[in-house]
Structure 1
């Protein structure tokens, strides 16, 4: 597991493009993602972790950090997590989650947030298996994530 620098923007862009096209999501082209990641990967509040061989990664996690008045440290948002389809169920996603948790603790993060599509039952099960919940501790109602396009 390693953190991607700006020199890996093309690989990260391709992986995100592959992720979106796998699920038929509207998506910019891989090159457009790569150009954006070339800028994003220079920031201290953006982390991309690559799993597997650096020359041909088997998966990635895209994370952002933001300040929060609720914690002394930042809040971490897991924006995307993807494993190459042919290599799923081999522990790659779990290894990414473990590395994310380790880094979040090292950075003093108070929480990690993840947005998951309601219909993506497999992803929901995966995150729940790793201790994530759509309920705040002590509450009996679900948290919801809202989006508004601009």
Structure 2
């Protein structure tokens, strides 16, 4: 898989295995869909209507690189869709920009660096693809994610905030590579 898939997160326990990021396989799609829907819809961060799109992993696999982190038993515990081209990013404005969407970490393993590992992998892959900026949108309620983005150097682009549907206000963040 090359060096880009070799980014690892240090586990909080010295006897726990290091985590790595891999490309998702089709047999991962049901787990990714369920996990994403459970966290977003079940956590009150998205509407049940949006849950249909969150569960459509095969649909986004055609438009993005699906990246996953697995636990030591091979079960997907985190996922993100990295958009290097096309319209799936929804917040990209030029070919110089990449985006990522639907970042999710299983609540049972949050706080172990999985989200950060996925974001850093997206940044490295975007850089390797010649992108100059990574942009993302996030719901105002996703404060933990926003803290992660800010810690990694993302800044707000309020002029690009958007509303995909009435009552859904998304904040845009960007990081120049």
Q: Would you say 1:61 and 2:83 are equivalent positions?
A: no
Q: Structure 1's 28 and 8: CA in aligned 2 closer, same or farther, altered over 3 A?
A: farther
TM-score (norm 1): 0.75
Runs of 4+ with >6 A deviation: 29-32
Q: Cα–Cα, structure 1 residues 144 and 125, in superposed 2: closer, same or farther, change >3 Å?
A: same
Q: What runs of 5+ residues in structure 1 fail to find an aligned partner? A: 136-141
Equivalent residues in 2 for 1:115-126 (5 A)? 115-126=137-148
Q: 1:134 to 1:69 in 2, by over 3 A?
A: closer
Q: Following superposition of structure 1 onto structure 2, how do residues 22-101 of structure 1 map, counting pairs within 5 Å? A: 22-24=42-44, 25-27=46-48, 33-34=54-55, 36-41=56-61, 43=62, 45-53=63-71, 55-66=74-85, 70=94, 74-101=96-123
**1:3 alignment partner in structure 2:** 23
- Residue 123 of structure 1 and its aligned partner are, at CA, apart by 1.8
Q: Which runs of 5+ in 2 are unaligned?
A: 1-20, 87-91, 167-177
CA 103–85 in structure 1, closer or farther in 2 if over 3 Å, else same: same
- The structure that is strand-richer by fraction is 2
Within-5 A mapping of 1:93-112: 93-112=115-134
